[in-house]
Amino acid sequence: MDQIIIQTLHGLVNGMVLAMVASGLTLIFGIMDIVNFAHGDLLMLGAFVGASVVGVTGNYWLALVVAAIVIAMLGALLQITTLRPLIGRDPLTTILATFFHLQYPWYRVATAVLAGLIIGGLWLFLKYGKYGIWIRATTQDRVMAQAMGIPVPLVYTAVFAIGSAMAAASGVLFGPFAGVTQTMGFDFTLRAFIVVVVGGMGNLGGSILASIFVSLLESYASIVVSPAQAVIVSFVVLVMTMLFRPTGLFVPTPK
């Protein structure tokens, strides 16, 4: 019983981690049809900027904000100077490290809650903000959005910056338990891609649900098999989704 509770908690925490990474990715894909392979690298850079700020000032909150702003500017610069997607990495090299603790580390839960708050903030911004409406309108019909006077080129740059800031914030948030290394982006990006596809590409809500769904499944699977083998679950979900519901698991069936 304890194990099930711990695995549920574990799945939820990992789900929020993943949702945070995936939301930046899906936002950029949804609006620009760009699969941003640099997402993981932006995440890693964000973590480094964050770690540096913490090192100098010792202030975690400042690190979070500074990393997000710096990487947002970098993202905007990347987008403006015509973005060149990096080449995808070999999925097989990625192995998820899953941890077992009898006593669950509560700082992880706190991090997941913080991630939830940031994702919630993004959602509120997209839902109610003037610029959120601009972004959603542009996602749905770029030509009509332009005809309504929405400055679409600016929206593209802004979305790329926001997506980059989300990656950076993820890096800062999860650096403490994943370890800040040059390769930390790998794991997150691959898994983020999986949930973005499973959730329906470009669909923010779908990506978040898929993140939690896949992470929970993996957590429960690791009760029976080894954590390294449990990773297979996300690929199984991916393949099944591609086979039976290629538009995404959490997208209403198109009429």
* Least distance in angstroms from the C-beta of 77 to another protein: 22
DSSP state of 254: P
Nearer to another protein by C-beta: 24 or 202?
A: 202
The stretch near another protein (CB under 8 A) out of 128-136, 174-182, 204-212, 243-251 is: 128-136
Nearer to another protein by C-beta: 203 or 219?
A: 203
Q: Provide the 10 A C-beta neighbour count for residue 250.
A: 18
* Least distance in angstroms from the C-beta of 108 to another protein: 34
* Least distance in angstroms from the C-beta of 127 to another protein: 9
The answer to whether the CB of 123 falls within 8 A of the CB of 27 is no
* Least distance in angstroms from the C-beta of 236 to another protein: 30
Closest CA to 50 of 40, 41, 42, 60: 60
* Least distance in angstroms from the C-beta of 145 to another protein: 7
Nearer to another protein by C-beta: 40 or 206?
A: 206
The answer to whether the CB of 138 falls within 8 A of the CB of 152 is yes
148 CB-side CA count, 13 A = 12
* Least distance in angstroms from the C-beta of 133 to another protein: 5
Helices 106-128 and 2-32: angle between axes, nearest 10 degrees: 30
Residue 208: partners with Cβ closer than 8 Å, 6 or more residues away: 19, 22, 23, 119, 199
The answer to whether the CB of 87 falls within 8 A of the CB of 37 is yes
How far is Cα 229 from Cα 120, in angstroms, rounded to an integer?
Answer: 32
The stretch near another protein (CB under 8 A) out of 32-40, 140-148, 158-166, 225-233 is: 140-148
Q: Which of 35, 137, 217, 251 binds another protein (CB under 8 A)?
A: 137
| Residue 141 near another protein by CB under 8 A | yes
* Least distance in angstroms from the C-beta of 211 to another protein: 21
Contacts with another protein, 143-162, as mask; x by CB under 8 A: xxxxxxxxxxx---------
Nearer to another protein by C-beta: 35 or 137?
A: 137
Nearer to another protein by C-beta: 203 or 215?
A: 203
| Residue 125 near another protein by CB under 8 A | no
**Would you say the C-alpha torsion 175, 108, 112, 187 has a positive or negative sign?**
positive
The stretch near another protein (CB under 8 A) out of 142-150, 173-181, 212-220, 229-237 is: 142-150
Q: What distance, in Å, lies between the first and last C-alpha atoms of the chain?
A: 43
**Tokens describing residue 110:** 């706190």
Residues that bind another protein (CB under 8 A): 130, 133-134, 136-137, 140-141, 143-153
